């Protein structure tokens, strides 16, 4: 079953990004092909000129209803991969970062300073209605399997990490080592009475959750593109962030296959093909 954090996101209409990356933004394409998942900023190739026809995105800052809640804890190897991606997206370094977490076996995450950027999905569908479905090639392959588009992104300027032992107790973190690894571009802070928690804050937000719609072919003679709703959390969104320093042990490779802290764990990952499309 999904944890409270994922339910919290889903109630707001969002799906978590398993490995956050600055590459995720409005109109980023998320695909699944033969079980492999990925993303590309290739919307212009799929629908030339459509982005310029859309209304300006709606932007909201300081969303307290989404901020502050802690995710469930994950194994250290996988957690460091997530953290490395978050810090890189916030503009910090990661060399030697893992040494600051040597006493921890698991990590949990919380996000603050949350802002959103959203496109009107109905306007997007109307703009897609005149776009012909792609011919043979990667875009065609993705459309034939499962292809999604991001219409809203949540970003956080502040990420708070808590270290845990195997038994779930708080674990001491080496904040000076962590601060030295991250460098001077980020603010690194910890509470005076709690050396198991450290916060990273940057000037720009890092994407950690998104709203998705599936792109499908419309019916009728001339095949064009349209949108179909999907259940929040039913699609795994995973960034491409890789760090060779965090992939040298069997434990860390196993962490790649672990369930995401930011994705549902449903019986079915993809919505049935019969879901209704958004009214044009």
Report pLDDT digits (tens) over 124-161. Answer: 999 999 899 999 999 999 999 999 999 999 999 999 99
Q: How many CA atoms are closer than 13 Å to the CA of 193, on its beta-carbon side? A: 0
Mean pLDDT score of the chain: 82
Q: Which residue matches tokens 């957690």? A: 79
Q: Which domain holds residue 10?
A: 4-256
pLDDT digits (tens, 9 = 90+) for 72-97: 889 999 999 999 989 988 888 889 99
Mapping DSSP to helix (H, G, I), strand (E, B) and coil, where does residue 174 land? Answer: coil
261: left (phi over 0), alpha (psi -120 to 50) or beta: alpha
Q: Is residue 168 part of a domain?
A: yes
Q: Is residue 268 part of a domain?
A: no
Q: Is residue 60 part of a domain?
A: yes
Q: Is residue 269 part of a domain?
A: no
Q: Is residue 170 part of a domain?
A: yes
Band of residue 62 on the pLDDT scale cut at 50, 70, 90 = confident
Higher pLDDT, 243 or 161: 161
Q: Which residue matches tokens 């690194």? A: 188
Q: Is residue 276 part of a domain?
A: no
The domain total for the chain is: 1
Question: d(Cα 12, Cα 232) in Å, to the nearest integer?
Answer: 9
Q: Is residue 83 part of a domain?
A: yes
Listed residue (222, 221, 236) closest to 266, CA to CA: 236
């Amino acid at each position: 079953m999904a944890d409270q954090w994922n339910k919290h996101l889903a109630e707001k209409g969002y799906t978590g990004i398993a490995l956050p990356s600055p590459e995720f933004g409005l109109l980023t394409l998320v695909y699944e092909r033969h079980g492999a998942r990925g993303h590309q900023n290739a919307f212009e190739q799929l629908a030339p000129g459509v982005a310029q026809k859309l209304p300006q995105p709606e932007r909201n800052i300081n969303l307290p209803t989404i901020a502050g809640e802690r995710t469930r804890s994950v194994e250290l190897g996988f957690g460091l991969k997530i953290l490395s991606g978050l810090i890189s997206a916030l503009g910090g370094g990661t060399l030697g970062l893992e040494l600051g977490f040597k006493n921890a076996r698991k990590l949990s995450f919380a996000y603050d300073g949350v802002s959103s950027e959203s496109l009107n999905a109905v306007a997007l569908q109307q703009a897609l209605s005149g776009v012909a479905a792609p011919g043979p090639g990667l875009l065609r392959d993705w459309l034939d399997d499962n292809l999604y588009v991001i219409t809203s992104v949540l970003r956080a300027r502040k990420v708070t990490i808590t270290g845990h032992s195997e038994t779930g107790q708080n674990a001491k973190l080496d904040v000076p080592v962590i601060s030295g690894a991250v460098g001077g571009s980020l603010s690194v802070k910890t509470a005076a009475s709690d050396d198991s928690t450290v916060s990273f804050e940057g000037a720009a937000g890092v994407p950690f959750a998104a709203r998705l719609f599936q792109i499908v072919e419309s019916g009728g003679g001339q095949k064009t593109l349209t949108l179909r709703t999907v259940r929040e959390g039913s699609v795994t969104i995973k960034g491409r962030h890789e760090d060779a320093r965090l992939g040298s042990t069997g434990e860390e490779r196993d962490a790649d296959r672990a369930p995401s802290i930011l994705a549902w764990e449903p019986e079915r990952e993809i919505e049935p093909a019969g879901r209704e499309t958004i009214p044009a």
